[in-house]
Copies of this chain bind each other. A is one copy, B any other.
Amino acid sequence: MLKIGILLFGVVAARGQWNVMPMPSSIHAGSGAPLTIEQNFSVALEGVSDPRLEHAARRLTARIALLTGMTFRDGGAALVLRTESAGNAVQSVDEDESYRLTVNAQGAVITAPNPLGAMHGLETFYQLITNDATGWVVPAVAIEDHPRFAWRGMHIDVARHFIPLDVIRRNLDGMAAVKLNVFHWHLSDDQGFRIESKRFPKLQELGSDGLYYTQDGVREIIQYARDRGIRVVPEFDMPGHAASWLVGYPELAATPGPFQIIRTWGVHDPTMDPANPEVYTFLDAFIGEMALLFPDAYFHIGGDEVKNKAQQDLQEGFNQQVEKIVTKYGKRMEGWDEILNPALPKNIVIQSWRGPKSLAEAARQGYQGILSSGYYLDHIEPSSKLYLVDPLGDQSATLATEEKARILGGEVCMWTEYVSAENIESRIWPRTAAIAERFWSPVETRDVADMYRRLDLVDSELDQLGLRHNSNYRIMLERLAGSTDIDALKVLADVTEPGALALRHHVNPDATQSTPLNRLVDAARPDSAVARHFSGLVDRYLANRNEAASRSEIRQWLTLWSGNDAKLEPLIARRQILKDAAPVSQVLSKIAAEALASAKMNRAELEAAQKPIGDMRLAVAQAIARLIEAEGRVRSKQ
């Protein structure tokens, strides 16, 4: 990696050592002393005035006050924010989000064409603040930055499990911190209709169990998002995934009612009837109401997974009719892969859950698109894998330049079959920060080790912002243990990963919306940091078996794990809620003990440890197996 930095008060400013995520397009260390944050720190606004800038400057100052513990008064304008124009009244997909940030000992200056870039610059500035041996400083630096993709979204399904507004707000804070700019709000599905319609109140009254957002609440979220440079795109899934609509309005259905909210997962029959003209009258009034509420230029109509073959054949006609309604209300239609059809105008946007191939195909046909395939958080893949999925990946290599330009970006997807308001943040963060970097940073930013180094910092930044991905973890473990004494349980949970959607469904085919999400599998988090650390130790040790430090630490971990089941077993025996933790705990202690011993081990046993145990996975099993394999201690039993 190119080393372009110099030594500044102990801060090594090599490219790989910048503490910024997503990595800027261009970053160069300055030659002077750093800027010191002092009691008179303040942000001065120059150029246009916009309430977003004032709010963002106030938030930044409050965050720096919390970080440094300083109380700022009578500011000396250490940071100047120069913004050229006020930006669009409704944030648009093609707005310039670039900014420049320069810092030296005299102060910092952010210049940006509009408030979007200025706000991104403030986030970068915050990340650069560090406490060195002398105090709080920002290294001298020159940054020119702009996003690689214009559409950098996060999709949250609030239908399968309702997610309250305060959780949405926290996630918007997290999105702003990593420069995501679209919140895609999946507001209806078979399992719930989550927004108030004044025109058709039975939608929320009968379709939501009372768990829905008021229009005032939605307006507040839209304002909150705008204040953070984030667009809000609503999705109303139709004509399939629509059971919750039909509870209150069965006359829209393709088959006779009555209908109930569906409590189970998967693809279900209830569908709006594409052949019924009243459906379009209804949708015209409904979309008209929602188009007024949501100012964004795009309107997502879902359009995925229609189950009934007869309706599938009618879906093209349905989409054309709905597209006309959406256009009539001044919006551009967006939908999942299935809506792709040459009969639709070219100004719609295709969101690909099927894969980059279908996205490339859409681009070839002249459609804009965004990638979600590969960014499904409920598949519980590690950040290292999510990070390397590229909206312009292999499939797009064959595309012409203007076809490539149609690929606007991507969206992280958070589906909530096995996700609650309590653990959603641990499913989204910090992994989403790695994907956010893919959407923002130059294509060649692909160093996984450096990504993880910075991901740890962002993880901590998100904690400071109030996100609960870490806080709720401990709280859930305490609930499982029934006390604050969670040492042994945490040792296990730290190396346990929840199974992906498919595994959970396989293990618990009867799970519904009412199934408790309070077990070890729900508390355990994706991409175990302990497992990653341990795997790194094993790499180091296998590369050089004489390295005492890694050898010694590996033994410490194995000793901890091998003795852990004996400590945890009495608690598990007492508590029914911990029953499914028993086999995972036993396997962990067993293979750790095997790794410490010198006897041979059966291959079948070693392989079983690396496979799912119930609906969980032992995240350190693979690294432990590598250790045992490397010592030639595996016996193929027959």
Contacts and interface: CB of A to CB of B under 8 A. Distances in A.
B130 A576 contact: no
A417 to B, nearest CB: 15
A361 interface: no
Contacts of A575: 131-133
Nearest to A468: B471
Given A10-B574, A463-B478, A485 B471 contact: no
A423 to B, nearest CB: 11
B471 A484 contact: no
A162 B573 CA distance: 46
A516 B66 CA distance: 9
Given A471-B474, A475-B471, A68 B518 contact: yes
Number of copies of this chain in the oligomer? 2
Contacts of A39: 514
Contacts of A470: 474, 484
A352 B265 CA distance: 62
A278 interface: no
Interface in A112-152: 130-136
Contacts of A573: 133
A165 interface: no
A219 to B, nearest CB: 21
Nearest to A485: B456
Nearest to A578: B131
Interface in A417-468: 422, 456-457, 459-460, 463-464
A456 B484 contact: yes
A514 B72 CA distance: 9
Interface residues of A, number: 48
A67 interface: yes
A71 interface: yes
Q: Which of A68, A482, A515 has the most CB of B within 10 A?
A: A482
Given A69-B518, A518-B68, A576-B134, A464 B478 contact: yes
Given A470-B484, A573-B133, A464 B456 contact: no
A371 B602 CA distance: 68
Interface in A537-580: 573-578
Across the A-B interface, give the 8 residue pairs with the lowest CB-CB distance, nearest first.
Answer: A69-B516, A69-B518, A71-B514, A471-B471, A131-B575, A460-B478, A460-B484, A131-B577
Contact of A479 (B67, B134, B474, B576): B67
A67 B478 CA distance: 10
A319 B171 CA distance: 53
A575 B129 CA distance: 12
Q: Which of A136, A464, A471 has the most CB of B within 10 A?
A: A471
B464 A133 contact: no
A302 to B, nearest CB: 26
A39 B512 CA distance: 14
Interface string A75-93: 0000000000000000000
A475 B66 CA distance: 11
Given A131-B577, A471-B471, 12 more contacts: A10-B574, A66-B518, A67-B518, A73-B514, A134-B576, A456-B485, A460-B482, A464-B475, A464-B478, A470-B474, A471-B475, A474-B474
A636 interface: no
A135 B575 CA distance: 7
B463 A475 contact: yes
A502 interface: no
A581 to B, nearest CB: 12
A503 interface: no
A516 B134 CA distance: 16
Contacts of A479: 66-67, 460, 464
A70 interface: yes
Given A131-B575, A573-B133, A576-B132, A516 B68 contact: yes
A485 B483 CA distance: 25
29 contacts: A66-B422, A66-B518, A67-B479, A68-B516, A68-B518, A69-B515, A69-B518, A69-B577, A70-B514, A71-B514, A71-B516, A73-B514, A130-B482, A131-B574, A131-B576, A131-B578, A133-B573, A457-B484, A460-B479, A460-B483, A460-B484, A463-B475, A463-B484, A464-B478, A464-B479, A471-B471, A471-B474, A471-B475, A474-B474
